[in-house]
Chains A and B, each alone.
Chain A
Amino acid sequence: MSDIVLDIQDLTISLPKGADRPSAVTGMNLTLRAGEVTCLIGESGSGKSLAARAVLGLLPAPRVRVTSGRILFEGQNLATIAPRDMAKIRGARIGMIFQEPMTALNPLHRIGRQIEEVFRIHTTLGRAERRARVVKLLADVHLPDPEKIARSYPHQLSGGQRQRAMIAMALALEPKLLIADEPTTALDVTTQAQILHLIHELQREHGTAVLFITHDFGVVADIADQVAVLQKGVLVESGPRDAVLNEPQHPYTKALLAAVPRLVVPDRPATEPGLVVLEAIDVAKSYAARGLFVRGRATRALDHVSVQLHRGETLGLVGESGSGKSTLARAMTRLLGIDSGDIILEGEAITHLAPRAMRPHRRRIQMVFQDPYASLDPRQRVADIIAEGPIIHGVAAKEAQARARRLLGLVGLDPSAADRYPHEFSGGQRQRIGIARALALEPDVLVADEPVSALDVSVQAQVLDLLADIKAKLGISMLFVTHDLRVALLICDRIAVMRHGSIVEIGPAAQIFSAPSHPYTKALFDAVPGAAWSAHMPVPAE
């Protein structure tokens, strides 16, 4: 057809020696049409970002480069084009936006100047005309007070505003093709929904073809016309959105879709609310910018919050970044001091216990952290990491090591893992080690702070299963912090929705889902990517 904008034929991108596979992308074929959004979906390491960068010749050469295949755009082969000709296409005929708008913008230049640069490179417009176009563009991406935004530096804007500015820059010269590399991954869910809406709107208006890189099937459901699934550099399935989402053909696509948490409340036996294990009463916490002479404005992280965790239940703390959910979790484990209020552990106030007096209580509350790469000491063996807690609490080293090996079995790792170092494991495996470390002290309460948000969706499902399994087996109470409502519905008995340091709504998961009372909760549900699709998604046969 004539409206083909980009035609990728048999593309292979080689990786340097020592990588886990010889080529990042192998024999990829993909066709993009005008006015259509094509989502390239894959897990981390699938090669999706490199494929996108190859189109614009932005691969980190010479170590990573296109070794064969053709990238046809407006009659030219971008895989072999001369650098001078490629520069004419970049920014003018093909625009690109990135995952992290903070680092993608030059921190020392004003937003207006950075957008203006596109006109200066590709057009002969005069200064005043360029300025006017910049302001109009900023207005087009619905930024308030575009004149002021143009005069601002990147650090003065919010994440969502920065991404809007990036979009304005990418679309400045109305390119035929927009490449969006995970443009909403670093954003909060409500901001993500707005940015997705904006991309959709602008793309419809101008008939732009969009190559949208993502790892989230929810996003695919919301924005895609066409979907292509990439597994370890090989395109395993592609086609119209509804066909791929509802009738996946390839086993990998099926497995990926099966792992996506549904926006439904799973049937689970109603838990009898037990006694209160852990409680926060009227807890307040502010962060002040501190110096010897200056006292900056204080940020209120927790605004007199009270919450109770019952024995045997899983309580979800759900909110966007800056809502105070992690602060509350850390305050309740006393990893973070609070300004006022009380933390009660089984009837005993632990708010003001000195470190030494707190130590015996530490055993009873354990944490699992978000970042599987930062949460394990890189210089310790796995056995030492897991055994550290029991040794601190007086267990003989030999006994603690033996227990560590048993725990590895419990979290689904081979006991031989005990003698290796953290960097030898994948993200999911590391998270299992982190869980084993927490369980080594046989705690009453497990506080999980975004334990799966750094993991790929298939691994995410496995770790969530493990947590649910352990909780059931050991009768632990769990405080589960997450930004993802789908995950919260999947694992939590009760959910507390947080915003600006307060709990706006708390109740059983089913009630929060079916009858949210607070407008913010409703907004959160509406913003979940692929909400409509996810609720009615056919459950694939296992």
Chain B
Amino acid sequence: MPDGLRRFARNRMAVLGAIVIAIIVLVSVLAPFLYPKGAFSLAGQPLQPPSLQFPLGTDALGRDVAAGVAEGARTSLLIGIAAALSAVIFGAMIGGIAGYYRGTVDIVLMRVTEFFQTIPAFLLAMLLVVILSPSLLSVIIAIAAVSWPGIARLVRGEFVALGGREFILASLGLGASGPRIIFRHLLPNCLSAIITVGSLLVATAILLETGLAFLGLGDPNIMSWGLQISAGRVSLRTAWWVCTFPGIAILLTVLSINLVGDGLNEALNPRLRER
């Protein structure tokens, strides 16, 4: 895919996004070394504005906001990637089965998919976290459980479109088995679309995660951006920095992932290059 890589590298916005993501990943990896005491520990006087000692200030409990932002990066990336990956795998499986076998299986699976696409995703995720009790795993499960329908419909659509193409018929005519057609012909031909949409899914997963954490539905033992903002709400009047910086972190992360996703889309699906 060196061709696609070259096209990606020509897209300045996408490269910028990739660099920002790299920095965020670096910060999240270095967090335990930068802030060895952890983000929950008392660092200094409460509600100090940004200063040289605390570049992002401290919150109402005297915790270093910068430490929280660094640890929150790890939480968000971990949950975002894990949830998106699970959703892609599950969605691709459902969509693949529906699109390959067609007929009644297709109708039933697509009705179920549409059902999950119709119902309010955030509410369902909320309910799932409440019922499974908030933890890292339950948040990942909840987000994955509401994120897969888009992938399922994409893969199903691609499979149906490709299935009508003559090269699939040709393979059938050669005597190729179902798995061979799926794994040798269908999947490789829609992989670029899956990668693109999957990368954008990480961004929505992070937005969902911060929303859940804001409502108090995150793992209580793990620092996250949503939790920081929710804790900073009470002191919004006096200490704007507690809420502001974690929010900017979310904005930057999601924006960068979207830029990279758009870049991937243009690089991997050359049909759209003209636009």
Interface residues of A (CB under 8 A from B): 290-292, 330, 333, 335, 355, 358-360, 362-363, 365-367, 369-371, 374-380, 388-389, 392-393, 434, 437, 441
User: DSSP majority for the B interface?
Assistant: helix
In the bound assembly, the distance between CA atoms of A369 and B169 in angstroms comes to: 9
Chain-A contact segment, one of B30-38, B85-93, B172-180, B259-267:
B172-180
Q: Known: A292-B111, A378-B189. Is A367-B177 also a contact (CB below 8 A)?
A: no
CB distance from B91 to the nearest CB of A (A): 22
* Chain B residues, CB < 8 A from A388: 171, 174, 176
List 26 A–B pairs whose Cβ atoms lie within 8 Å, in order of A's numbering.
Answer: A290-B107, A291-B107, A292-B107, A335-B173, A355-B178, A359-B177, A362-B174, A366-B173, A367-B170, A367-B173, A369-B166, A374-B165, A374-B166, A375-B169, A376-B170, A377-B189, A378-B167, A379-B185, A388-B174, A389-B175, A392-B174, A392-B176, A392-B180, A434-B170, A437-B170, A437-B174
Inter-chain contact A355/B177, CB cutoff 8 Å: yes
Inter-chain contact B166/A335, CB cutoff 8 Å: no
With an 8 A cutoff between CB atoms, is B188 at the interface?
Answer: yes
In the bound assembly, the distance between CA atoms of A279 and B244 in angstroms comes to: 76
Inter-chain contact A389/B174, CB cutoff 8 Å: yes
* Chain B residues, CB < 8 A from A437: 170, 174
Interface residues of B (CB under 8 A from A): 107, 111, 165-167, 169-178, 180, 185, 188-189
* Chain A residues, CB < 8 A from B188: 379
Inter-chain contact B174/A335, CB cutoff 8 Å: no
CB < 8 Å neighbour of B167 from A330, A358, A376:
A376
CB < 8 Å neighbour of B175 from A292, A330, A362:
A362
* Chain B residues, CB < 8 A from A377: 167, 171, 185, 189
Inter-chain contact A392/B175, CB cutoff 8 Å: yes
* Chain A residues, CB < 8 A from B180: 392
Most chain B CB inside 10 Å of its own CB: which residue of A333, A371, A374, A434: A374
* Chain A residues, CB < 8 A from B171: 377, 388
Q: A330-B169, A377-B171 are in contact. List 20 more A-B contacts (CB 8 A).
A: A290-B107, A292-B111, A333-B173, A335-B172, A335-B173, A359-B175, A367-B173, A371-B166, A374-B165, A376-B167, A377-B185, A377-B189, A378-B167, A378-B189, A379-B188, A380-B185, A389-B175, A392-B177, A437-B174, A441-B174
Inter-chain contact A370/B166, CB cutoff 8 Å: yes
In the bound assembly, the distance between CA atoms of A370 and B172 in angstroms comes to: 16
CB distance from B51 to the nearest CB of A (A): 55
Inter-chain contact A363/B175, CB cutoff 8 Å: yes
In the bound assembly, the distance between CA atoms of A378 and B165 in angstroms comes to: 11
* Chain B residues, CB < 8 A from A330: 169
Q: Known: A377-B185, A378-B189. Is A369-B170 also a contact (CB below 8 A)?
A: yes
* Chain B residues, CB < 8 A from A376: 167, 170
Inter-chain contact A393/B175, CB cutoff 8 Å: yes
* Chain B residues, CB < 8 A from A362: 173-175
In the bound assembly, the distance between CA atoms of A365 and B175 in angstroms comes to: 10
In the bound assembly, the distance between CA atoms of A371 and B168 in angstroms comes to: 13
In the bound assembly, the distance between CA atoms of A380 and B169 in angstroms comes to: 15
What is the chain A residue whose CB lies nearest that of B186?
A377
CB distance from A114 to the nearest CB of B (A): 27
* Chain B residues, CB < 8 A from A392: 174-177, 180
* Chain B residues, CB < 8 A from A358: 175
In the bound assembly, the distance between CA atoms of A333 and B171 in angstroms comes to: 13
In the bound assembly, the distance between CA atoms of A145 and B16 in angstroms comes to: 62
In the bound assembly, the distance between CA atoms of A335 and B185 in angstroms comes to: 17
What is the chain A residue whose CB lies nearest that of B111?
A292
Closest 6 CB pairs of A and B: A362-B175, A375-B166, A389-B174, A369-B166, A359-B175, A377-B167
Q: Known: A291-B107, A292-B107, A392-B180. Is A375-B174 also a contact (CB below 8 A)?
A: no
In the bound assembly, the distance between CA atoms of A360 and B189 in angstroms comes to: 27
In the bound assembly, the distance between CA atoms of A33 and B260 in angstroms comes to: 57
What is the chain B residue whose CB lies nearest that of A376?
B167
In the bound assembly, the distance between CA atoms of A242 and B87 in angstroms comes to: 67
In the bound assembly, the distance between CA atoms of A290 and B108 in angstroms comes to: 13
* Chain A residues, CB < 8 A from B175: 358-360, 362-363, 389, 392-393
* Chain B residues, CB < 8 A from A374: 165-167
* Chain B residues, CB < 8 A from A375: 165-167, 169-170
In the bound assembly, the distance between CA atoms of A291 and B167 in angstroms comes to: 27
In the bound assembly, the distance between CA atoms of A365 and B173 in angstroms comes to: 8
In the bound assembly, the distance between CA atoms of A370 and B166 in angstroms comes to: 8
* Chain A residues, CB < 8 A from B166: 369-371, 374-375
* Chain A residues, CB < 8 A from B176: 388, 392
What is the chain B residue whose CB lies nearest that of A379?
B188
CB distance from B174 to the nearest CB of A (A): 4
In the bound assembly, the distance between CA atoms of A380 and B167 in angstroms comes to: 11
CB distance from A52 to the nearest CB of B (A): 22
In the bound assembly, the distance between CA atoms of A28 and B176 in angstroms comes to: 52
CB distance from A447 to the nearest CB of B (A): 9
Most chain A CB inside 10 Å of its own CB: which residue of B107, B169, B175, B188: B175
Most chain A CB inside 10 Å of its own CB: which residue of B174, B178, B189: B174
CB distance from B28 to the nearest CB of A (A): 35
CB distance from B160 to the nearest CB of A (A): 14
In the bound assembly, the distance between CA atoms of A392 and B172 in angstroms comes to: 11
In the bound assembly, the distance between CA atoms of A335 and B172 in angstroms comes to: 7
* Chain B residues, CB < 8 A from A380: 185
* Chain B residues, CB < 8 A from A359: 175, 177
* Chain B residues, CB < 8 A from A370: 166
In the bound assembly, the distance between CA atoms of A335 and B174 in angstroms comes to: 10
CB distance from A502 to the nearest CB of B (A): 24
In the bound assembly, the distance between CA atoms of A264 and B169 in angstroms comes to: 34
